[in-house]
Structure 1
Amino acid sequence: MRVVTTLFLMLIAALPARAEVNIQSVTSPGGLTAWLVEEHSIPFVALELRFRGGASLDAPGKRGAINLMTGLLEEGAADMDARAFSRASEALATSFGFDVSDDSLSISARFLTENSEASVALLRAALQEPRFDQEAIDRVRGQVLSIIQSDQKDPDDIASETFNRIVFGDHPYASSLNGTPDSVAALTRDDLIAAHDAVLARDRIYIGAVGDITPEELGVLMDDLLSDLPQTGAPMPPRAEVTIPPGVTVVNFATPQSVALFGQKGIKQSDPDFFAATILNHVLGGGSFESRLMNEVREKRGLTYGVYSYLVPRDLAETYMGSVSSANDRIADAIDVIRDEWAKLARDGVTETELRDAKTFITGSYPLRFDGNGPIASILVGMQMLGLPIDYIATRNEKVEAVTLDDVKRLADELLDPEGLHFVVVGQPVGLETTAGN
């Protein structure tokens, strides 16, 4: 029976992309709001919950508490220890996923319609009656400490933590949500209870559901699952003051290949020019082998296997980032080329051909995101968190197509700051030193 169920769930995950997504707004009797896409052809529901704030709500001196707490939500609840909870979810063919970022704590639930009541009761126990048994705390804490130890030896993670520390100062974004060995080791059960109450609250929840469920059924489900959560949680952190000094920071690390993470100030996802920025980034470094950076740094000069740029519009700060790796004696050349391409695009904008090709890719790839109930539920929640209208999916590609060559050229001049780029280089780069004052 378990094999059949597994195959069934795999089939669900592999459903083809939908050409049309009809979204309804549902309000529960208790006042909770969700977005729903009904799909009754298969007896299966995907439910996505997201709590704004995430690991940024860690209390002072308790960095890593919300991450550790999130890892414990499926390690026992109510009268079930970790093993009993796992057996219960397996018996129901129900899957739960718990994840946290600096901006949100996410819960993904997948369950069969016939088991919806029992599945929701199990998830409710995880959210509202977590056990936080000491044995589970010690085991998951050990896993987190192992991750922290591994990250301290990973050049990419070192570059990321160094860049964030420079850019975000004393904001929560400046440090890893995993915490430090000392902060995680010192966390107590009381700290985890406080972390739970800080983030799992009704005033910051967003809900998406896709599948074999009616609006009335979803309303009852939401109240059963969430109505007893506290109304308010911890105050949200302020916006981060993004300070990116131009120049280079070198972190000495014994490796034959240097890793560089670079960035400048970015653009909000709510900005009217965000679609122009998406096209701009696709041309510069987001279009993989079709991008200018890949063409100039890899194809023409052979300085790297890969170089990328990407927009990072967080809830409380925006950056425009990129990454590249190269041999220690060639990384300085790669950085020079990146700066040159950044400046060239800022000065000249994109070509008609680049604009057309970028639009074709961005609009053509969009429907591929809707490849199953789970991904669609996640998209619904993301749209709500961004304040997007309920018809956004139907109109999004029209907004991309409306971007003109002049729009991109103007934005390139306003956004791109080649002189303001900061590069964090982890390795033993030849010809590069830390800029004074960084």
Structure 2
Amino acid sequence: MSERNGLRYGLLGLALIALLGVLAFIVNRPTTTIAETATPAPAQGLQSLAELGGKTPTRRTLDIQNWTTAEGAKVLFVAAPELPMFDLRLTFAAGSSQDGEIPGLATMTNAMLNEGVAGKDVTAIAEGFEGLGAEFGNGAYRDMAIASLRSLTAPEQRQPALDLFTQVIGAPTFPEDSLARIKNQMLAGFEYQKQNPGKLAGLELFDKLYGQHPYAHPSEGDEKSVPGITVAQMRAFHQKAYAAGNVVIALVGDLSRADAEAIANQVSKALPKGPALAKLPEPQAPKPGLNHIEFPSKQTHLMLAQLGIDRNDPDYAALYLGNQILGGGGFGTRLMEEVREKRGLTYGVSSGFTAMQVRGPFMIGLQTRAEMSQGTLKLIQDIVRQYLAEGPTQKELDDAKRELAGSFPLSTASNADIVGQLGAIGFYDLPLTYLEDFMAKVQALDVAQVKAAMAKHLAPDQFVIVTAGPTVPQKELPPPTDKPAEMPSGVPEH
């Protein structure tokens, strides 16, 4: 079964609230690697609960190998012989930041990859993968576009699955009938999103935050740009953005080094020839301030953002840990404690750094009762201001470190997790020792270092703020208490 992106299922993807849309590319879990060696060592087997005996689970030991194909594709490989299958993930610098003057081109191109190849339409392609017990996946985001394959490693399944996969990613035909169908889905989705205040707020937020930068426009394009996208434009985009020199090939599974090299070579040769695309320009600092979207509803969406960091920033570990305490760690964070638990103002509130190729956003998002929106916004700003001025407490820091140490083994719990991590490591040019480096840095951090990093990269008065909801008389916030008089009644409205 095909895992399609937001273009293929536009109605669903565009119905997501804007914060979730942004968090689709937030990497709140660090990527993992280990040092390059010549011979792959078997990975650890799964641990039973009885074996753990209440101890923190050990992280799966990886042995990452890397090389470059003759065509210039970067390859990262981990042998995992426990199951007779493999995961292959291609990560291209082919996200919407490469759209140029045609918003939506990157997403449309990615969505059309498996709509047709020579001699096969979309149905035949899907049946081909399913008949082999294989799974094709694809998606496009701001920084990147991906295509993936999961297959059994027995030659009788592996080779035909690879042959079909390389056709799909290397020689798509972009059939006109499929293009018309997907455009109609997208246009219907754009109409639906007009009734979604969270989505409208998210679009406005990125526009105000990034201005003329390639990150500013929505990945899926808009109702003005999508109808004009042509097959010729998609072919040209595919030729340059899906080139062998612009891809990271990640492989995990029951494969020898020779098997992995053969797969990588087949994939690399199937892609158009060409170099990596140029790095994106750095965004300019936006003008802070409040922007309101009038919308008839019972709740108001509140979104606050400012420019954060790129994925290679040396303060990444300190900011990750600091944000876990502020609002990235779910229940128990300062934002959840003060806004939900003590006052019952929201169903959920979260914050996060989206570390990207160039400076991604730091965002805080929630929705609250319309008559409490102004007071809630001020409360959020006060919490951030106090946190940046004082930093975390020692207990908050210790608790966050302990939680991270306990959850971190999940980052390599499955082959699918690992192949995603490898793709990110290669795409963002992280060192192969990244996992060990990250954990060592986090555990060595003290309160002063976390405070300094958060204060360096965030300023309480520099937020771009977007609200979406009705203009109604405002009420004073309830005082903090262990038992708020009115708690959120359910899942927030979309």
Question: Does the 8 A contact of 1:69 with 1:192 survive in 2?
Answer: yes
Question: Does the 8 A contact of 1:58 with 1:66 survive in 2?
Answer: yes
Using the TM superposition, give the Cα deviation of residue 412 of structure 1 relative to its aligned residue in structure 2, in angstroms.
3.1
Distance 1:257 1:396, change over 3 A: same
TM-score by length of 2: 0.81
Amino acid at match of 1:267: I
SS in 1 for 2:168: helix
- 1:173 and 1:32 mapped to 2: Cα distance? 25
**2:343 corresponds to which of 279, 289, 301:** 301
Question: Does the 8 A contact of 1:242 with 1:317 survive in 2?
Answer: no
**1:19 corresponds to which of 60, 73, 86:** 60
Aligned length: 418
Distance 1:366 1:181, change over 3 A: same
- Counterpart of 1:178 in structure 2 is 220
Using the TM superposition, give the Cα deviation of residue 28 of structure 1 relative to its aligned residue in structure 2, in angstroms.
4.2
- 1:38 and 1:141 mapped to 2: Cα distance? 41
- 1:101 and 1:25 mapped to 2: Cα distance? 25
- 1:239 and 1:131 mapped to 2: Cα distance? 32
**2:118 corresponds to which of 36, 54, 78:** 78
- 2:202 and 2:71 mapped to 1: Cα distance? 42
Using the TM superposition, give the Cα deviation of residue 53 of structure 1 relative to its aligned residue in structure 2, in angstroms.
3.5
Instruction: Pick which of 264-273 and 35-44 moved more.
Output: 264-273
- Counterpart of 1:148 in structure 2 is 190
Task: Give yes or no for the alignment of 1:282 onto 2:330.
Answer: no
Question: Does the 8 A contact of 1:159 with 1:424 survive in 2?
Answer: yes
**2:280 corresponds to which of 211, 224, 238:** 238
SS in 1 for 2:346: coil
Using the TM superposition, give the Cα deviation of residue 151 of structure 1 relative to its aligned residue in structure 2, in angstroms.
2.3
SS in 2 for 1:74: helix
Question: Does the 8 A contact of 2:309 with 2:356 survive in 1?
Answer: no
Amino acid at match of 1:70: N
**2:362 corresponds to which of 312, 320, 331:** 320
C-alpha deviations, 1:193-242, integer Å up to 9, x for none?
12212310122211111101111111121121222423326843632424
**1:30-45 alignment, distance < 5 Å:** 32-45=73-86
Task: Give yes or no for the alignment of 1:196 onto 2:231.
Answer: no
- Counterpart of 1:436 in structure 2 is none
- Counterpart of 2:261 in structure 1 is 219
- 1:429 and 1:37 mapped to 2: Cα distance? 55
Using the TM superposition, give the Cα deviation of residue 276 of structure 1 relative to its aligned residue in structure 2, in angstroms.
1.1
**1:102-117 alignment, distance < 5 Å:** 102-114=142-154, 115-117=157-159
Which one has the bigger helix percentage?
A: 1
Distance 1:339 1:29, change over 3 A: closer
Distance 1:358 1:333, change over 3 A: same
**1:125 corresponds to which of 167, 174, 199:** 167
C-alpha deviations, 1:71-111, integer Å up to 9, x for none?
11111212111111111111111111010011111111100
Using the TM superposition, give the Cα deviation of residue 297 of structure 1 relative to its aligned residue in structure 2, in angstroms.
1.0
- Counterpart of 1:63 in structure 2 is 103
- Counterpart of 2:95 in structure 1 is 54
- 2:277 and 2:90 mapped to 1: Cα distance? 19
- 2:349 and 2:158 mapped to 1: Cα distance? 45
SS in 1 for 2:281: coil
SS in 2 for 1:236: coil
Question: Does the 8 A contact of 1:95 with 1:111 survive in 2?
Answer: yes
Instruction: Pick which of 376-385 and 33-42 moved more.
Output: 33-42
C-alpha deviations, 1:1-35, integer Å up to 9, x for none?
xxxxxxxxxxxxx9779521221224446554311
Amino acid at match of 1:348: E
Instruction: Pick which of 239-248 and 66-75 moved more.
Output: 239-248
- 1:69 and 1:91 mapped to 2: Cα distance? 25
**1:271 corresponds to which of 313, 318, 322:** 313
Distance 1:351 1:89, change over 3 A: same
Distance 1:267 1:69, change over 3 A: closer
- Counterpart of 2:293 in structure 1 is 251
- Counterpart of 1:8 in structure 2 is none
- 1:248 and 1:345 mapped to 2: Cα distance? 21
Question: Does the 8 A contact of 1:312 with 1:320 survive in 2?
Answer: yes
Task: Give yes or no for the alignment of 1:343 onto 2:385.
Answer: yes
Using the TM superposition, give the Cα deviation of residue 41 of structure 1 relative to its aligned residue in structure 2, in angstroms.
2.4
Amino acid at match of 2:141: S
C-alpha deviations, 1:132-179, integer Å up to 9, x for none?
111111112222222222223211211111011111112221111111
Question: Does the 8 A contact of 1:28 with 1:220 survive in 2?
Answer: no
Task: Give yes or no for the alignment of 1:89 onto 2:129.
Answer: yes
Question: Does the 8 A contact of 2:73 with 2:246 survive in 1?
Answer: no
TM-score by length of 1: 0.90
Specify every segment of 5 or more residues in structure 1 that has no aligned partner in the other structure, as ranges. Answer: 1-13, 433-438
**2:302 corresponds to which of 247, 250, 260:** 260
- 1:261 and 1:294 mapped to 2: Cα distance? 15
Question: Does the 8 A contact of 2:318 with 2:450 survive in 1?
Answer: yes
Instruction: Pick which of 344-353 and 63-72 moved more.
Output: 63-72
Distance 1:186 1:29, change over 3 A: closer
Distance 1:168 1:29, change over 3 A: closer
C-alpha deviations, 1:380-429, integer Å up to 9, x for none?
11012222221222342111101111101222332331111221001114
SS in 1 for 2:396: helix
Distance 1:400 1:150, change over 3 A: same
C-alpha deviations, 1:261-311, integer Å up to 9, x for none?
101231233222211111111111112111111111111122111111100
- 1:370 and 1:331 mapped to 2: Cα distance? 40
Instruction: Pick which of 177-186 and 390-399 moved more.
Output: 390-399
SS in 2 for 1:361: helix
- 1:33 and 1:215 mapped to 2: Cα distance? 15
SS in 2 for 1:239: coil
- Counterpart of 2:483 in structure 1 is none
Query: Matched residues, percent identical?
Result: 29
Aligned-pair RMSD on alpha carbons?
2.0
